[in-house]
Copies of this chain bind each other. A is one copy, B any other.
Amino acid sequence: MRLGFIGLGAMGRPMALQLLRAGHQLELWARRPDSLRPLLEQGARACASPAELAGCAEVVFTMVTTSDDVAAIALGPDGLIQGAPAGSIHVDMSTISPQAARRIAGRLAEKDIAMLDAPVSGGVAAARAGTLAVMVGGEAGIFSRVRPLLETLGKTIVHVGGHGAGQVAKACNQMVMVASIEACAEALRLAAASGVDAGRVRSALLGGAAGSVVLEVFGGRMAARDFQAGVEARLHHKDFAILMHEASRLGCPLPVAGQVWQQINALMAHGWGGLDSVSLLKVLELAHA
């Protein structure tokens, strides 16, 4: 199938490669043309703008950072909306606000362009392995058509509901994940304060009711004191701004998420936004110093 892909960052690059390896023709556009090179060498083709790209693809994927990025690519002067044929599909896999996803979908619908919000979880390792969790919002008929493509990228593909529902699920995902990272950091901090080996505590917890992907992956980084980025904390900071704003808009109290948010703010204030979110442990250690 002729596909478009925009957003060749740490996550997007391996995802685009999966689609290419699955035998699809891939049209690319990037703000920084340098980032295209590895994929061009594998047979992808460069376009001059999102509008041109949209003109030669049945389905366009975007994987960028902010709501504004997606809006500019989809609706801007040289945006997808200027070139996409009626009946084509835009699948946005970025993590943006549910409200922005609904608004962009509404604008594209006016030109008979379908949209799905389809953010992912699992990180770079899962992107490389094609084992991401994909949370999809949008029309069921469109989801059915795109599903085989999503199965190239992920192993858990769930149609959560209408437009924005994928982003709601992703907000929930980030809340649970970062709250778990913080809880794990507090547990290992308490262990250390008690004179008990944090790594052994983690091992003891892994087999019980506190067992989780976060304890396995992020707890492992904490025990090894590896604060280099798997996922940069500044991205979780961005995600929390989205979800806490959404909760505020809905009048939905999230007491623990609110407290986690303040810990992430403390992390950012220390200048650690480029490190992994396991640096939440360092925030606790400073407070204790």
- Taking beta carbons and an 8 Å cutoff, which residues of A are in contact with B? 98, 120-123, 126, 132-133, 135, 154-156, 158-161, 164-166, 168-169, 171-177, 179-180, 182-184, 186-191, 193-197, 200-201, 203-215, 217, 243, 246-247, 250-260, 262-263, 284, 287-288
Contact = CB atoms under 8 A, between A and B. Distances in A.
Given A193-B252, A214-B212, A183 B187 contact: no
Copies of the polypeptide in the assembly:
2
A79 B94 CA distance: 63
A88 to B, nearest CB: 25
Nearest 7 pairs between A and B by C-beta?
A156-B207, A121-B208, A133-B208, A212-B212, A172-B187, A179-B183, A158-B204
A169 B209 CA distance: 13
A173 B213 contact: no
Contacts of A171: 190
A161 B210 contact: no
Given A172-B187, A173-B205, 16 more contacts: A133-B211, A135-B205, A155-B207, A158-B207, A161-B196, A165-B194, A172-B210, A176-B187, A180-B212, A183-B257, A186-B254, A190-B254, A208-B213, A211-B213, A254-B284, A256-B260
